[in-house]
Structure formats: structure tokens, C-alpha cells
Structure 1
């Protein structure tokens, strides 16, 4: 991997005790930062991208590098959450290393798809990361096609290397009942909000108390930027009203009454699930469970149910329907579990 990082400067020095030591710098010259990661590793590449990101010169017009520059200036890209942009910047860094000067006209050429997929396959030891890189490149090309910069996107309908979706996994009635009756109050509140709103972890933990108007909760989804209004179910009204009464900044807080941090919550959740003996499911799996619950209770046609669920949860309609088709038979069991758990408080 070291050889692919154009510009890395390697220096071998003799130490006072006679040993030879090799140092790596992000570039040659005065002021170049020394790299601390082990050469040839993924961390080494990521460190190089981070150090050189702000030093990059303007890309040559008519290249993938210039497409990236223009795409990063779009309102859609700028409106992404900071964490999403950080992930994209790291991936764009790797794409630039390989395709910075790749001509736009060659994107459309026959055989370009194989070039890009061959590059993805060099990362096959980390299939999820490989898929994320190629998906971002495809998104870049889709934007360029929409702007008529290119006439075709060679990365449409690319089959993924990673098959780690968890949409096939939902919580059992026993697991839900365990958390809703025996978990620590600050953990139980988060689980209840997740089940009754179908939102992502980050959106739930950062939900401001002002988002609750007494009947509904207004949520801005960090991943998509979409704003949704969710009716506050009776089961979560006590949590929402208490936060409003004591004027908390956010609806959900930790055991010290402080705002959750993402790392703090993950650690607390992991420890509490271990204490309760809840295994095989994650916090994220609560979304699929909630979708099953919602489908079982909505008095609408199938298509209307899927549309409403996807609008609130942030899933695509195809993903929502996939979850329903796999778990509808278990839906009533989940509903009963939630009901039993909340009634025992």
C-alpha cells in the first residue's frame, strides 16, 4: 500500500545507539508532518489522506478529481451531517489517490466499469469498506450524469461484496420485555423512544426537548436531512413531558442527567445488555422491530403502510417491505411484548 501513496517521503536515520530507524512524512520538505501509523496498513493510508486533504491543489479540469471538487460544493453535500461528510472525505481521499487524473470522457468509455470494480476488489479483505467506496463513486457519477457532464454512470446496479445487512434480525418478545421492565431507567427510555419513533440512534440521542410540542415530535434525520413529524405514542409521553417540565436541553439524558455522547451511550448500552443477558441483537435492530410493530397495527392497505413507515423511519420502501415480508408473522408477538413491558412500569 505504501507504494500507492504518491508523495510519501521516507527517511532513514542512524540513532545515537547505532540502530537505523525509518521515518515517514506525508510529503517532502520543511514542515511536512511525520506519519505515526505502520506503513502498508489501512491506518497508514487514512492518516496520509487526513494530513494531505487540505494541502491538495486544485484538480485538473475534466477529471474525476475536478468532479469531486465540484460535487463537494453542492448544497446537497454541504447539508450532510458533519459525521457523514467526514466519512465521505476519507473515502474521497482514497478515490483521489487512485483516480485523481482519470479523464471524465473515459468514465463513459466501454470497459470503465471493470476498471472501477477491479479497484474495489483490491479492498475485498474489507468488503464493507470496499462497498462504501464504490457506492460513493457511483453517487458521484450519478450526480455528474444528472448534470449532463457524463452520459452514463458505469457503476449503476453494482452487486455488493458485503452481505452484512441486519434487516433479517428483530428482537424477540422476551428480549423486548426484558429491556422494558428490567433495564436501568435511562436505558429503558432510549429503547422506548426508539421503538415508538423508528429513528436512528444518533437522531434519538440528540433530539431536543423543544422538538416535542405536546402531541408530536419533530425530528431532523441526520443521515438524510429529512424532517419528519411523529405522533407521540402514549407510552413515551411520560418521558417527553418530564423532559419538558424540568427543562432539559434534550429529551434523553444519561444517568447523571447529562446529554449522551455517542461513545458513552454505546458503552452504557453494551454493559446493560450484558447485565440483562440480551444477546444476538443490537440497538439498530430495534428499527426493524418497530417497523414490524407498526405494520401490524396500521389500519391501511399494504402499499399505504409501507409508504407511511418509510417516510417516518428513513428506510427506503423496498427495505421496509423486505423487513415486513420476513417478519410480519412475528409482528403481533412484538406488539404484545411492547404492550406488556410498558404496562408493568
Structure 2
């Protein structure tokens, strides 16, 4: 039988739980003291902490929630690149939120994290907050969290990249690049293709009417109709492929010197090497990236830019369109004269 508390206001407390100097403490029969929560905690929080300390309730930390999300069908259905990025974002988030209880994460904690993260990268602060919001929403829908603490927190405004590669800049770098780099550049330019879409082109994607490309990011499938420049790039790629294949076989159009398809890191290494060679040969650096070639293609295209790019929205296409709009100026001679 549990004895009555000496103080009437303590009758609600769990057995063997007392007020310490700064926190409620549970004193097990075996001795010692286990801190439960601060003295300003509610009665419900004290009882929950007591049950957790006894092992009656499983505490759901953010790392547990992340593991559940990464095992989910929702995550499995994402594009490979997106899944890789989300795993990378969580590595940094876990340093702060991994051991924190899901329901103890508050909007002010998310805001503080973003403010500190933005000191090194505003874009990454937004991306990592997006992942945390997805995980918290996943937990909320399944009863693991009481709220999504990311909902009230605003993203930082990001300035869109507006670097346009001029024809002179493109040609100067292109003419000094290796044949494989030239192939990658021209396929990216003629098809407005991302690097991951270029390196994943298979031999079976070479169609009679053009080159089939499926965008890994959006899933958009297109056949880019042949142009002289695109056909020349694919022809050169096939020649390089036959030289590199030797006894091995590959389903891909672009292969390394060992005959294997390019990985993401392998393609980035090639680009860094080409850039270093260009700097050494010319003494000039380039302040544009391989991804900027896609933006140059969309900017240079004369026609329906959204259809050409394969973007789902006009707004997304415009993020890549770095050309100036040409509009007709007002001719005062055409303005109707006011009646007198």
C-alpha cells in the first residue's frame, strides 16, 4: 500500500517520485535517482516520463521516425537521386534532432536550426527543413507525432541562379575539352538534359526518329528529334564506346575507359579534370557549371521552351530560362487620339 504524501499538493505524483532541486526525480527501490523532467512540467508530462523511465512506454525519437520513413513505400517510390539526397540531408539533421523526442521538437527549434544552417547555405537550410517537414508529416498522419513543428516555419527566399553561358564561353571550353566531355556537353545542350540523364542513356534509347531521354527527376519521357549536332554527338559517343568496350559489354552509350557506365561521382570527376585542364591551358577559370548547360539550352531554344525542357510547369521552366524577353515597344502613332 502506497503511503500518503506529507504535502497535499503532491498526492498526484507517481510512486517514489519526488521534487528535486531542479527536476522531478524517481527513486527506484534499488537506490539512486532518475531525473524525469523539469519542475515546471505538467502532471501529464511527469506521469509520461515516469512510465518511460519504467519501460512501460517506448519513446519515439526522431531517429526512429526517420528509420520508419526510410522503410516506407512513400520513400521507396521516390526517384533514386531524391532518395540519395534525402539520406544525405538526414545525416546533418540527425546531429541535432536524431536523439530528440518527436513531440519535443517545436517550431522555435526548427527556426533556430535553419538560422544557423543558413550561415553556410540558405539553399541547404530550406532543403533540410523540407525533409524534416516530410518526416514529421509522415509521423503525424500515423499518430506518432502530435503536430508538424515545421508548418509555421517559413523558408528563406532564395535568389535564383542567373548565369548564362555565352556562345563564346561554351565554344572556347568545348574546343579544348576531351572528346567524351564534348559528347556530354553537346547531348546536354541539344536535349536540355541534366547530367544524370546524359550518363544514363542506353544504346536502346537511340531511336530512328531521335534520342529517347527519361528525366530521372521528373519522370518525363521524351524523344529528342535528330538534329545534325545531336546526331554528330551520338555518332562520336558510339565511336568512343567501341574503342573502350574491349571484351566487356555494357547497355549504356557513354562508358569509361574500363567499359563501365559513368557514375555520378565519375562524371563529376571528369568535369573537374576538364576544368582544371582548361585553367592550366588558358589561365582562365569558368564560373559556370555543367548544369548551367541545360539552362543555356532552354534560353537559346526558339519555340515552346516548356515543351522542349520537359518541365511540368511554366514557373519551373522560367527558373532555367536566362534569356531576355523581347516585347514590342509602344508606338505613340498607334495610340488612339483623344476626342476634343
TM bucket by the smaller chain? 0.5 to 0.7
Structure 1 residue aligned with 2:68: 70
State the alpha-carbon separation in 2 of the partners of residues 309 and 149 from structure 1.
44
Distance 2:65 2:236 in 1: 49
Distance in 1 (CA, whole Å) between partners of 2:118 and 2:199 is 34
**Contact (CA 8 Å) 1:180, 1:192: kept in 2 or not?**
no
Q: How does 1:130-209 map to 2 (within 5 A)?
A: 130-144=125-139, 153-156=148-151, 158-160=154-156, 163=158, 165-166=160-161, 168-181=162-175, 183-209=177-203
Counterpart contact for 2:63–2:98, Cα < 8 Å: yes
Asked if structure 1 preserves the Cα contact closer than 8 Å seen for 2:213 and 2:224, the reply is: no
* Alpha-carbon distance, 1:175 to partner: 1.4
- Secondary structure at the counterpart of residue 230 of structure 1: strand
SS in 2 for 1:327: coil
Quote the residue 2:317 is aligned against.
320
Per the TM alignment, residue 180 of structure 1 is displaced from its structure 2 partner at its CA by: 4.7
Label 1:154 to 1:309 Cα distance change in 2 as closer, same or farther (>3 A): farther
Quick check: 1:237 aligned with 2:231?
A: yes
CA distance 1:75–1:233, shift in 2 (3 Å): farther
Task: Label 1:158 to 1:98 Cα distance change in 2 as closer, same or farther (>3 A).
Answer: same
Q: Tell me the TM-score normalised to structure 2 length.
A: 0.60
The CA deviation at 1:286 is 0.8
Residue range with higher mean Cα deviation, 63-72 or 194-203: 63-72
Residues 36-75 of structure 1: per-residue CA shift (max 9 Å, x gap): xxxxxxxxxxxxxxxxxxxxxxx94655334322211123
Match of 1:215 in 2: 209
Distance in 2 separating the partners of 1:182 and 1:329: 32
Contact 2:205 2:212 in 1 (8 A): yes
Of residues 269, 282, 303, the one that matches 2:289 is: 282
Residues 1:297 and 2:295 are matched in the alignment: no
Partner residue in 2 for 1:18: none
* Counterparts of 1:257 and 1:178, CA distance in 2: 29
Deviating more after overlay: 187-196 vs 149-158: 149-158
2:219 paired with 1:226: yes
Shift of 1:287: 1.4
Partner residue, 1:123: 117
- Superposed displacement of residue 169, structure 1: 0.8
**Cα pair 1:120 1:130 within 8 Å, conserved:** yes
Q: Which of 247, 265, 280 is the matching residue for 2:270?
A: 265
Secondary structure (helix, strand or coil) at the match of 1:328 reads coil
Instruction: List gaps (5 residues or longer) in structure 1.
Output: 1-58, 299-304, 331-345
The change in CA–CA distance for 1:152 and 1:237 in structure 2 (over 3 A counts) is: farther
Aligned residues of 2:189 and 2:294 also touching (Cα < 8 A): yes
Question: What SS is found at the alignment partner of 1:238?
Answer: helix
- 60 and 186 in structure 1: CA distance in 2 versus 1, 3 angstrom threshold: same
Q: Per residue, is there more helix in 1 or in 2?
A: 1
- The superposition leaves residues 74-98 of structure 1 with CA deviations (integer Å, 9 ceiling, x where unpaired) of 2342355666544433432443443
Change (3 A) 1:62 1:259: closer
Change in Cα spacing, 1:96 to 1:174, as seen in structure 2 (3 Å) is closer
Specify the alignment match of 1:252 in structure 2: 254
Return the index of the structure with the highest Cα Rg: 2
RMSD of aligned Cα (Å): 3.7
Superimposed CA distance per residue, residues 137-169 of structure 1 (whole angstroms, 9 cap, x where no aligned partner): 1232344466686686443473238x5742x11
Structure 2 gaps, min length 5: 1-56, 327-340
Between 1 and 2, higher relative CO (CA 8 Å, sep ≥ 6) is seen in 1
Q: Counterparts of 1:76 and 1:208 in 2: how far apart (Å)?
A: 28
How far the C-alpha of 1:240 sits from its partner, in A, is: 2.4
Shift of 1:290: 1.2
